[in-house]
Structure 1
Amino acid sequence: MDGNPSILGSHGILVPGDLLMGAVIPIHTDRIFPLATYKEKPTPDICKRFRLDFYQQFQTFRFAVEEINRNPELLPNSTLGFYVYDSCAVLQRELGGTLWMITGLNQVIPNYCCQVHPPLTAVIGHSTSTFSILVAHIMGLYRFPQVSYYSTSSLLSDKRQFPSFFRTVPSDDFQARGLAQMVLHFKWKWVGLIASNDDYGTEVIEVIRQEVVKEGACVAYTVYISDNLLNQNLPNIVKTIKNSSANVLIVFSVDFYLFPLLDEMLKQNVTGKTFVASEAWSISNLLAVNKYVSLLSGTIGFAFFSSEIKGLQEFLNSVTIYNTPGIYWAKELWEEVFGCTFADQKNLTVTLNMKKQCTGEEHLSSVQNIYNDVSRLRASYNIYTAVYVIATALHDLRQCQSLGGALVVNNCFDIGYFKPWQLMSYFRKVRVTLNNAQEVFFDKDGNPPAIYDIVNWQLGSDGTIKQVKVGSYNTMNSSGDVFSINTTLIWWATGNQGVPNSVCSQSCPEGFKQSLKEGEPVCCFQCSPCAQGEISNQTNAIECWKCPWDMWPNSKRDRCFLKPIEFLSYEDYLGITLATISTFSSMVPISVFRLFIQYKSTPIVRANNYSVSCILLVSLSFCFLCALAFIGYPQPEKCLLRQAAFGLVFTLCVSCILAKTVIVVFAFMATKPGSSLKKWTTPRVPYMIIICCTFIQLTLCVFWLTISPPFLQFNIEAKPGIIVVECNENSPFAFWCMLGYLGFLATVSFTVAFLARRLPDNFNEAKLITFSMLAFLSVWVYFIPASLSAQGKYTVAMEIFAILTSSWALVFCMFLPKCFIILFRPDMNSRDNFMRKEGGGK
């Protein structure tokens, strides 16, 4: 049963059979490297830690083989035997054990196979990706099937380098994508990467970096650790971890590489870090001890898919030192589980010092430990799957499944004599359905379907760490949702504070955007408020968005609301005030007009051209009323006509004043003997002046309204946050031409009146016209800069104010003296007084 134990010792066993398969399993770990002096032959490595979980893997391998041997439908009339070699997770022994199986001799001879029958069909192993890569190079030369239950490096998916490599664990490419989705799920934007300095860690860490960055997160640092303490600067590595603001650490490593790192973190009192574990240590019982509770509680990570294997626990408990191959390992199991020792004449002192002695009659079912705990079979389940994959491929070979001429027909049924390369085609096509209905097959790269459990390290009530399944990652999920996790089941080290936060910069609230810091990763940013007129309605916005033209941000700049509409309305205090003044003011010229009608026969009314004065008074009343066209909602009709109406009415007023001024001058000059101006003193002349001057303005307005008419405009630039509803004059040139022509008439009137102010006439209007035109021009000269500086409704209010003020200037300067004489000095409004003063003036 033990093969040749005198030669193989405690390293390997052979159980005979018609067909053989090999398994390289590290029953022991924690090796010691003796110091080499190069003066003598190096001593072998010493493996001092017996691993109950790895011994369970060996027994699961044995259970699968015996289960297949009892199955009449799988490889009938043939029995499976096996090699098992304890590699101690040492590269030399992994390679040596594999060559021992292939060679068939106790002495390892590379490139030589002594054993032809029974044939070695395949080798299950090895313990790490680095070791598998080395062995796969050798086994691939001869297309010798290798099925790994633990090596996950994506390098092994390259069929050009490793044509005969298969595995029952997913490639790390799948795990990298899954971990990146986990980082995104928990909104971790700033993570640290820790990897073992071997093929497993260095390759995957680059993949995870790419996947993490693809998901929008950033990597704060990447550090590498190894099992050689002389080649790493752990204090500086831990100082980097401690000082970094990254609170989430993604660790790709096997468990025994982490002991020195965790010890140094305890030494430097590193706290507040959450570990994300790769499958190589996510269920490690060596790390789940009280010493590391403060560091590793709350850890979350991926683990190999676990499943139940029916009958395995009973099988494990039925093992004794007498009914299992590998008596050395069985005795170590007994000593480890029951805390006893077997009598050993070579080590009598040790035996005498032990508290109790093993009898070999103890029952494993009386204890509960890692060895017989089948509640979370992972690596053991993968070994179980690997055995069934090999057996199914052999069964397909025996049944001569058609694979396009892969085998010679004469050798088809001679299952005891075939070459390993002839089995390769069947490995590629194999499909195995296990008792749990899980189907196993290989893709073109030799990888099985990717299924992971997501486990969380939770602190139990007894103070120990338990690894609890909280979700899964299944690329074969029929619903398409490959990543699922129940966050309510997760226990974080932060307790009630919820999911740990790991960001380089705190989140930018709504109303702000991220501004990158020069020379920093994209996850390190500062928050800048959105510019005027822009919003961001989500946290960590990359850009702000402009509100629609008719909307404006609120004070927090996280929402858009409708802009208030502004125009000079009748509901506005300013608008109603100006409207009241305008209406009241329009009644003043009408009152003066009625007064003139009443006293039209008096000298002061007749002496100043009664008809023209009446036209002037009516037009002044309209001037006051035209201000109303600028108040209220600026409808398109208002916009079209209000400036033209204003220009025409004021032109009519100024034309009347100009006509009165010219007539005064002509009347005085015509009194001179032989004057040619006498013909211009007829009553028709003032009307001609009024008509001609007004017609020119009318022509300008018609051209303006025809070619470039004013229109209604919603101005969003005049006042931020407000829509100013206004009339756009469309052609500023036409507007200023209209206003300039009005100013030209007023200037001419002022000039003529100023020159005629000293004419000897008791009722000479030239002085009144001079003051009225001076006031009129002053108002509009001041209006120009005031209107340019005003905004919104105040621009309109300024123009209304100018209209009312200039109109009042004309009324006050032109008619107040006359009304005063008519009402309060009737003695001055007599013909005798008029003729006397006129004569006295002569």
Structure 2
Amino acid sequence: RNQKWLKFGQKKLEVQNYQSMLAMIFAVEEINARPDLLPNITLGYQIYDTCTVLRRAAEGTMWMLSGGSESIPNYRCYGPSRLAGIIGDSGSTRSILMAQILGLYRYPQVSYFSTSPFLSNRNLFPSFFRTIPSDEFQSRGLAQLVKYFGWSWVGLLATDNDYGQIGIQVVKQEIIMSGACVAFAENILTSLLNRNAPHIVQVINKSTVNVVVVLSSDSDFMPVVEELLKQNVTGKIWVASESWSTSALLSKDRFKKILVGTIGFAIHGGQMPGFREYLSSLHPSKHLNNPFAKEFWEQIFSCKWNEEEANATNQRCTGRESLESFIKKADFRITFNVYTCVYTLAWALQSLLQCKPGEGPFQHGGCANISSFQPWQLLHYVRNVNFQVNDWAYIFFNNKGDPPAIYDIVNWQLGDTGNMEQVIVGIYNSSAPHGNTLTLNNAAFMWNTGDAQVPYSRCNPSCPSGFQKVTIPGKPFCCYECNLCPQGEISNQTDAVECDQCSWDMWPNEVQDRCLPRTIEFLSYTDPMGVSLATIAIISSTIPICIMLVFFCHRTTPIVKANNWSLSCLLLVSLSFCFLCALVFIGYPRPEMCLLRQVGFGMVFSLSISCVLAKTIIVVIAFKATKPGTRLRKWSGIKVSYSVMGFCVLIQLCVCVTWLSFSPPFPELDIRSQSGVIIIICNENSPTAFWCMVGYLGLLAALSFIVAFLARRLPDSFNEAKFITFSMLAFLSVWVSFVPAYLSARGKNTVAMEIFAIISSSWAVVICIFFPKCFIILFRPNMNSREQLMKKDKVYK
């Protein structure tokens, strides 16, 4: 039977490393015993210890390539069997050196513990493969784990070697891309005995972070943990890389108050049927030619075979010790990767062996000879290997030589005995469908607080609903202030980056976390203010009619005759309409009501003030016409009054018709004037036309006031001009006050202000012009005589 050799790169004699070596031997013996894998082919192995030294790694590589007792470059001493491939090394730095050499000759190299992403470069390392995922997957997974728990403020620790530095760059980049921030990134200096632990602990102590990601081996992280224990720095959540996530060294009881609650990525373990039985069968007496068996036994049971050393320590190995307790606690994660490495090369050799001439992958469909194949030929089959290791795990390599990235998520918890245990609480599988790479059992977690509540790690407390995050200049974007959403905007989630604008017909509630329909506002008949104004307007409109009835009943009396009965009646009717036009401003602003409001107001008021102006002019003409030889007598007739009144009303009518023709008023939903309210108003459409209409009324009132003021000294015991003067003065005062009040009012108050001005100014005319006459007619009838009216007032002599 042909014998092929597998070379194995080893660090130093440690329990874990010796266990890995036994896994390799176990796998080789298992394959040799299988009839379905490499039949009639016996695998052999040679083991070389690099002692974690780069020089020895280079020497060992050259020695394995030379095949003899000396290392001779570019020379191969072919013995009875060929070198199939090399398994190792465990360290990335040494594997990089070995891969640079082996890549020149295209020798397959399969590592079980080298995780540096640098080794995925196929241009530099064309023949390198590994059964452990690249740190690139782990780094992304660690960042995803941080994001999963909502930690946005984290610290980073990493050793100053390839493993730590490459890993920390990827982790930092992924954490920032996920929306979190890195508070600090410190290096563990492996060149220093204390690993600069005091400085690192000082940085951690000063920082507000509660979560620290550590990419380091357990031995390099140990001084930092010792310093944390010394300074009593507790309450931190440690996120562990696979190098120390299952460390027995850091799982000691004295570290539990520091490290309990730790979560991390661990190498995914697999089953090796029969390996536990294989380990339990080990005994130094059965392996006399194995130089490591006795030392392994001594380290496991803390005893000595040598009598002198045993007497000194008072612990002598008897050989009756049982490995059962060790096997129960043993971690076979790395061991399983070694086992998988052996099977990788075995299945590649199996594919090479099963090649059929004419169907092979090489030139002209050729196949390689199992007895004399070239390294590059086996390399082809290693690239395309695909086999099942256990019931569900498959091993294959991508175009970078990396296997599927599968990690166990472990949580450091206190067991029933009070000791720390690494409990599997989830899994990370890079080949899972997008978005399902991380699967966690939240109920299985136990944190350093003693419960399952996820700890908090943020630079600032979360911004509640109704607030948005605002970055603070000069600080990371995770450090922010919580500002209330601007007016009209909401945020219905915590830590909102920006607020959302409510739709035009909606408005935020008091806490600004949801939009509610805006309140619709207009002066309605159901509103107390609307009811009050409508009642006042209706009652007020009856007063001029009552006065007209009084005048009608006393129409033959001198005081009624002297006040131009027909013009007074027309004035009283117009004043009644002035009061009633206020009702048009109350109620829902429909299009036809908007057209009628201001135009109706302008027309009835222009009619009223025109009547007042006509009365004023008639009073002046009447008294001037009494002078001998004057020609004004012919202008004292009723036609002049109606002409003046008609001309004044015609001008206002022209203004209103022009307004309605070119820019008619229309209903409008005003959402700007008052927050959270839709004010339904009648938009004048043309402010110029509106103020021209109001200004014209002011002009008529001013003319009436001026004419009446000039005629106030006319000799008469009951001078009509005096009352017109007072009425116009009151009228103008109301409307002058109306202008600033109207411009400053909002919503229904604007309409109410105009109604108040309409009613007030109408009352001013009614009271000042007609109340004195009614008082005399009703309560002083003795003064309602021609003699009293013609009596001269001594004051005006």
**Shared fold (TM-score greater than 0.5)?**
yes
* Equivalences for residues 252-331 of structure 1 within 5 A: 252-324=215-287, 327-331=290-294
Distance 1:660 1:125 in 2: 120
Aligned match of 1:61: 24
| Correspondence 1:80 to 2:43 | yes
Amino acid at match of 2:10: I
| Correspondence 1:25 to 2:10 | yes
Aligned match of 2:120: 157
Contact 2:713/2:796 (8 A) holds in 1 = no
Distance 1:736 1:762 in 2: 39
Contact 1:318/1:364 (8 A) holds in 2 = no
> 1:100: how far off?
3.2
Aligned match of 1:190: 153
Distance change (3 Å), C-alpha of 1:89 and 1:654? same
> 1:90: how far off?
3.4
> 1:618: how far off?
0.7
Distance change (3 Å), C-alpha of 1:640 and 1:203? same
Aligned match of 1:342: 305
Aligned match of 1:616: 571
> 1:270: how far off?
1.5
Distance 1:818 1:378 in 2: 115
Secondary structure of the structure 2 residue equivalent to 1:79 = strand
Q: Which moved more, 1:155-164 or 1:252-261?
A: 252-261
Distance 1:406 1:571 in 2: 93
Distance change (3 Å), C-alpha of 1:404 and 1:710? farther
Aligned match of 1:790: 745
Aligned match of 2:638: 683
| Correspondence 1:819 to 2:774 | yes
Aligned match of 2:97: 134
> 1:86: how far off?
3.1
Contact 1:61/1:383 (8 A) holds in 2 = yes
TM-score under structure 1 length normalisation: 0.90
> 1:417: how far off?
1.9
Contact 1:25/1:87 (8 A) holds in 2 = yes
Contact 1:189/1:503 (8 A) holds in 2 = yes
TM-score under structure 2 length normalisation: 0.95
Distance change (3 Å), C-alpha of 1:479 and 1:801? closer
Percent pairwise identity: 53
Given candidates 482, 495, 499, the residue that maps to 2:437 is: 482
Superposed CA offset, 1:103-141 (max 9, x none): 333444455433443111111111111111111111111
Distance 2:228 2:358 in 1: 56
Distance 1:615 1:735 in 2: 26
Q: Which moved more, 1:291-300 or 1:475-484?
A: 475-484
Contact 2:195/2:223 (8 A) holds in 1 = no
Given candidates 67, 77, 97, the residue that maps to 1:104 is: 67
Distance 2:224 2:78 in 1: 46
Distance change (3 Å), C-alpha of 1:292 and 1:834? closer
Q: Which moved more, 1:108-117 or 1:301-310?
A: 108-117
Secondary structure of the structure 1 residue equivalent to 2:746 = coil
Amino acid at match of 1:18: Q
Secondary structure of the structure 2 residue equivalent to 1:301 = strand
Q: Which moved more, 1:679-688 or 1:484-493?
A: 679-688
Distance change (3 Å), C-alpha of 1:541 and 1:401? farther
Aligned match of 1:3: none
Aligned match of 1:387: 342
* Equivalences for residues 592-671 of structure 1 within 5 A: 592-671=547-626
Amino acid at match of 2:312: N
Superposed CA offset, 1:65-93 (max 9, x none): 11111112211111000012233433333
Amino acid at match of 2:25: R
Q: Which moved more, 1:150-159 or 1:675-684?
A: 675-684
Secondary structure of the structure 2 residue equivalent to 1:250 = strand
Secondary structure of the structure 2 residue equivalent to 1:814 = helix
Given candidates 757, 764, 769, the residue that maps to 1:809 is: 764
Distance 1:646 1:402 in 2: 109
> 1:739: how far off?
0.5
Distance 2:477 2:545 in 1: 76
Secondary structure of the structure 1 residue equivalent to 2:225 = helix
Secondary structure of the structure 2 residue equivalent to 1:18 = strand
Distance 2:276 2:358 in 1: 39
Secondary structure of the structure 2 residue equivalent to 1:227 = coil
| Correspondence 1:353 to 2:312 | yes
> 1:401: how far off?
5.8
Secondary structure of the structure 2 residue equivalent to 1:561 = strand
Secondary structure of the structure 2 residue equivalent to 1:220 = strand
Distance 2:98 2:242 in 1: 22
Q: Which moved more, 1:715-724 or 1:255-264?
A: 715-724
Secondary structure of the structure 1 residue equivalent to 2:701 = helix
Contact 1:406/1:422 (8 A) holds in 2 = no
Distance change (3 Å), C-alpha of 1:249 and 1:810? same
Contact 2:704/2:728 (8 A) holds in 1 = yes
Secondary structure of the structure 1 residue equivalent to 2:680 = strand
List runs of 5+ in structure 1 lacking aligned partners.
Answer: 1-15, 29-49
Distance 1:135 1:270 in 2: 41
> 1:271: how far off?
1.3
Contact 2:301/2:321 (8 A) holds in 1 = no
> 1:712: how far off?
1.8
| Correspondence 1:415 to 2:378 | no
Distance 1:301 1:833 in 2: 114
Distance 1:381 1:248 in 2: 31
Aligned match of 2:201: 238
Aligned match of 2:416: 461
Superposed CA offset, 1:412-449 (max 9, x none): 46422222222111111111122324221111111111
> 1:830: how far off?
2.8
* Equivalences for residues 117-132 of structure 1 within 5 A: 117-132=80-95
| Correspondence 1:757 to 2:720 | no
Contact 1:511/1:537 (8 A) holds in 2 = yes
Distance change (3 Å), C-alpha of 1:675 and 1:67? same
Given candidates 655, 667, 671, the residue that maps to 1:700 is: 655
Amino acid at match of 2:119: L
> 1:394: how far off?
1.0
Amino acid at match of 1:689: V
> 1:759: how far off?
2.3
Distance change (3 Å), C-alpha of 1:411 and 1:598? closer
Distance 2:371 2:159 in 1: 43
